[in-house]
């Protein structure tokens, strides 16, 4: 299957925390934990358990970019990295960052945010993603 989502990371499920309706699936991607909040029905249907290979899928529009090593936010996924490139459009830009042990992550943010944060190739930045914005897939 091919997806339009720019951010697709392969890893291994390291933990599944079950709840009444939703659960939290933690996927180890190159030594970095990626948390996803998904339904218990999906966890069962996909057979997710520790040790199972899985993919974390994140749309570029769901990635926030900030400055600093770690921000005081409720978002579970905060990945420090370096900006590789900024591709400016009429309103939005695609910011490509190196994170997660060398993986490339794309974020679609406004041109105003790019300017305000001074984002450019080589700048240290933080990719922030809510666990509810992470989809989980398997082969």
Q: Are the C-beta atoms of 9 and 83 separated by less than 8 Å?
A: no
Say which residues have a Cβ less than 8 Å from residue 94's Cβ, sequence separation at least 6: 60, 86, 87, 106, 107, 108
The pLDDT, as a whole number, for residue 76 is: 92
Q: Indicate whether 118 belongs to any domain.
A: yes
The answer to whether 79 and 125 are in contact (CB under 8 A) is no
* 22 found inside a domain: yes
pLDDT, tens only, 27-56:
999 999 999 999 999 999 999 999 999 999
> Tell me, what's the pLDDT at 69?
77
One domain for residues 49 and 110 = no
The structural domain count of the chain equals 2
User: Can you list the positions of beta strands (E) in the chain?
Assistant: 7-18, 22-29, 32-39, 53-58, 64-66, 77-88, 92-99, 103-110, 124-129, 135-137
What is this structure's pTM?
0.94
Inter-CA distances, 67 with 99, 123, 127, 128, Å? 14, 9, 9, 10
The pLDDT tens digits of the residues spanning 6-16 come to 999 999 999 99
Structural domain boundaries enclosing 95: 60-129
Q: What does the block give as tokens for 120?
A: 């450019």
- Domain annotation covers residue 1: no
| 2 within some domain | no
Q: What are the CB-based long-range contacts (under 8 Å, 24+) for 15-24?
A: 15/50, 16/43, 16/48, 16/49, 16/50, 18/43, 24/76, 24/131
pLDDT value, residue 45: 98
- Based on the domain organization, do 94 and 39 belong to the same domain? no
Shared-domain flag, residues 21 and 81 = no
- 51 within some domain: yes
Residues 29 and 50 in one domain: yes
Q: Over the stretch 48-104, which tens digit does the pLDDT of each residue have? A: 999 999 999 999 999 999 998 778 889 999 999 999 999 999 999 999 999 978 899
Q: Which residues pair with 90 in a beta bridge?
A: none
Residues 66 and 47 in one domain: no
The verdict on 114 and 67 lying in the same domain is yes
Q: Give the confidence band of 120 by pLDDT, cuts at 50, 70, 90.
A: very high
Rounded distance between C-alpha atoms, residue 126 and residue 110, angstroms: 16
Residues 125 and 67 in one domain: yes
Does 35 map to a domain? yes
Q: Are 139 and 46 in contact (CB under 8 A)?
A: no
Per-residue confidence (pLDDT) for residue 68, from 0 to 100: 85
Residue 77, domain CATH: 2.40.50.100
Amino acid 38: pLDDT: 98
Residues 77 and 99 in one domain: yes
37 shares its domain with 81: no
């Amino acid at each position: 299957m091919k997806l339009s989502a720019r951010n697709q990371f392969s890893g291994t499920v390291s933990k599944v925390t079950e709840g009444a309706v939703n659960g939290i699936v933690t996927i180890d991607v190159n030594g970095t934990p990626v948390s996803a909040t998904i339904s218990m029905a999906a966890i069962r249907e996909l057979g997710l358990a520790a040790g199972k290979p899985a993919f974390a899928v994140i749309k570029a529009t769901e990635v926030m970019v900030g400055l600093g090593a770690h921000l005081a936010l409720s978002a579970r996924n905060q990945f420090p990295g370096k900006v590789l490139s900024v591709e400016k459009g009429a309103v939005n830009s695609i910011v490509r960052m190196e994170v997660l042990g060398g993986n490339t992550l794309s974020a679609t943010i406004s041109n105003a945010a790019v300017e305000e944060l001074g984002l450019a190739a080589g700048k240290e930045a933080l990719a922030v993603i809510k666990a509810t914005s992470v989809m989980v897939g398997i082969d």
